[in-house]
Chain A
Amino acid sequence: MSDRLLRFDDWTSPVPPVEREVVSRLVEGEGDQPPLLFVCGPRHGAWAFAERWLGHAAQRGFPAYALTPRDRGDLRAHVHDVVQVAASLPKQAVLIGHGEGATVVARALGRYPARAAVLAAPAPSRWASFKTNPVGTLPALFAGKWRFNRRQLFSTALPADEADAYLERMSFAPRLTNPKSRATPVGNPPLLVVGSPDDRIVPRKSLDETAARYGGAPLLFPGMGHDLMLDAGWAEPIDAVLDWLTKELSATR
């Protein structure tokens, strides 16, 4: 029996509510554009999007929100939070997930009919991450912490002190379990996968696989590290995403 209609998990033990941190950059007046909800993995917080992307999206007319993942939440709790925040927005939202946040968004799409969705550098399977980052991943395979260094998250174009300052703000939480079964998006939203072929956490092959599952090819930004929203050249991916979105939204529904 599918859990699509019979949601015993939610019916028997609802996810306990928490105070959620949502950072926003809004647009003056009531625009036509749908709100964007940026979702990161548990290592980052809403701050990572607030640095660059939120303000940039707002400047281009999209009210932009970012959610900080709750402490010690599992995948189900994170999905719950994303759907709760999305449903609280005034209009049907576009979900944009980065890294493990893309795993959360992919799951949330099975629950909430997003206006559109973007998976940015979506987290690969455990095995794929082990191959690309054996030293950092090994503890994670035993439920330990998953570690990165500066060069895995950022390109050399980003000054080392800036990169270190970002690393300082991250918390290295255990990885989320990436479920084998995938959620079919409800409401058939347009979906885009973006990433970098030089990402040292998400291999190119994994990007292609993720995009193929949704019937597309990834949009690539060579030279960038994993953290597309903080790395030098951050404007290029967000502009491409907003251009794609503008095109999709103008297409008749």
Chain B
Amino acid sequence: MHDTPDIADRRDAVCVIGAGASGLAAIKNLREHGFAVDCYERETSVGGAWNWRHDRSPVYAATHLISSRPLAEFPDFPMPDSWPDYPHHSQLLSYLERYAKHFGLADAIWFGTEVVSCVPVGDGRWDVTTQSTGGGSSRVQRYAAVVAANGHNWAPAKPEIPGADTPGALRGTVIHSAQYKDPAQLRNRKVLVIGGGNTGCDLAVEAAQQATTVWHSTRRGYWYAPKYVLGRPADQVNERLRQWRLPLRLRQWLYRRTLALTTGDLTRFGMPAPDHRPYESHPVVNSQLPYYLGHGRIKPVPDVTRYADGKVELADGRRIDPDLVITATGYLPRFEFLDPDLLDSDPDGRPDLHLHAFARKHPTLAVVGLLQPDSGLLPLAHWQSVAVARWLRLRREDPVRAAAVQQKESARPVRSWARRHVPGRRHWFEVDHVDYLKAVDGLLHEMEPAK
């Protein structure tokens, strides 16, 4: 099957999979630590999920960041301070393109090439099989380490709704939010949006501006945070509470008070009450949702139980007849190029990694960017990749100390940095960014070069 039977040995080089935000940070930081890097990118340009030209990109026309600029930028390459508090997705793409150009990353990236498999060959090295995207001849190369930065927002998680596969059970069309790109898709139609996460709320708001009727189906209640409180981006106000080290209970109380005094209780519009405390699930940030609820443009409805007789049946027995159903039910991480055992994945495909980054049994395998933080992902992906680069360097230069660090780290309580999360299939990799960065900082300190 291989065109070239001999395996090209890339010696100390590291293989990075994906040239999105996390992959670019990985290339830059690995190079900064003295590693040669080969990065494989299935698309023909950088930006990953943030590049709307990519067929796997989940962004839609009106996607804006939900974290404000200082909490969303790479810590060593700030976004222009003339940009708005919450930049548009096209600005984020131009930011990533400038990052790649500034640090000269393009010459490490093999575009239009996907990784088919990564197989450990003993001694910590890996045989990486690549091929042109969508087929073509394959090639095997041997690397000292593999860093997967393939993103986790491209494989749609679709809800299992009875009747979805039965022809005629539903009159309207069903799409996943990944297929939603343009408001024209909503114009003058009756739209049902399923999902109460950030995307679901964004789409409900967009539908409220375009569609004739909007139903918004949410299974559980969330805390919907506004983008601004007290005259500042809400996350910056929240960071102040973290800086002052206010205890969680007090922060939860303040959160409830602030929300009660501003947005008010959303259950009066028919939204379900949150079944958890603030800060216990991924923040949903949307200032416009309460506005359109209050104007009656968005009609909250309960869970969808099935599609039948051309209509949608709801948990309260009501039936509605949308032209378009959009399931904003998130995405699933997928690592088709790795045997699930390598990442200690559970049967549902969720990897079990130290700090959500380091494979437990394979010291030269790491994943960058597999997090859902309560801040922007880029700062965390940056520090993750710094930690990975430091770790690989320590392992190469001082194997004895590396072994000691590994032993100490493996004794660290697994979930010490995880947020107290709401159970649910998409909440498992949520982290509290402050606790998480503290844990990464601890690891970096242990790996500091001996003085």
Chain A residues packing against B (C-beta within 8 Å): 1-2, 4-8, 10-15, 17, 80, 83-84, 87-92, 111-113, 186-188, 253
Contacts and interface: CB of A to CB of B under 8 A. Distances in A.
A113 B239 contact: no
A253 B32 CA distance: 8
The listed residue with most A CB atoms (<10 A of its CB), out of B82, B102, B444, is B102
A199 to B, nearest CB: 32
A186 B33 CA distance: 11
A11 B239 contact: yes
Given A2-B441, A8-B243, A92 B81 contact: no
Contact of B77 (A7, A17, A112): A112
Interface in B421-437: 434, 437
Contacts of B31: 253
Contact of B76 (A8, A12, A186, A253): A186
Contact of B75 (A1, A89, A111, A253): A111
Nearest to B380: A5
Contact of B32 (A13, A87, A91, A187): A187
Contacts, number: 72
B-side binding surface: helix, strand, loop or mixed? helix
B103 A92 contact: yes
Interface string B226-267: 000000000111011011000000000000000000000000
Contact of A15 (B76, B80, B81, B441): B81
B190 interface: no
Nearest to A184: B448
A-side binding surface: helix, strand, loop or mixed? loop
Given A87-B102, A92-B104, A113-B32, A14 B81 contact: yes
B102 A91 contact: yes
Contacts of B75: 5, 7, 111
B240 A12 contact: yes
Contacts of B80: 84, 87-88
Contacts of B444: 5
B378 to A, nearest CB: 13
B33 to A, nearest CB: 9
Given A1-B438, A6-B437, A8-B242, A90 B102 contact: yes
B272 interface: no
Contacts of B215: none
Contacts of A83: 78
B76 A17 contact: no
Given A8-B240, A87-B102, 13 more contacts: A1-B438, A1-B441, A5-B440, A7-B70, A11-B70, A12-B237, A12-B240, A17-B81, A83-B78, A91-B101, A91-B104, A112-B76, A112-B77
A139 B70 CA distance: 37
B69 interface: yes
Contacts of B101: 90-91
B383 interface: yes
B438 A113 contact: no
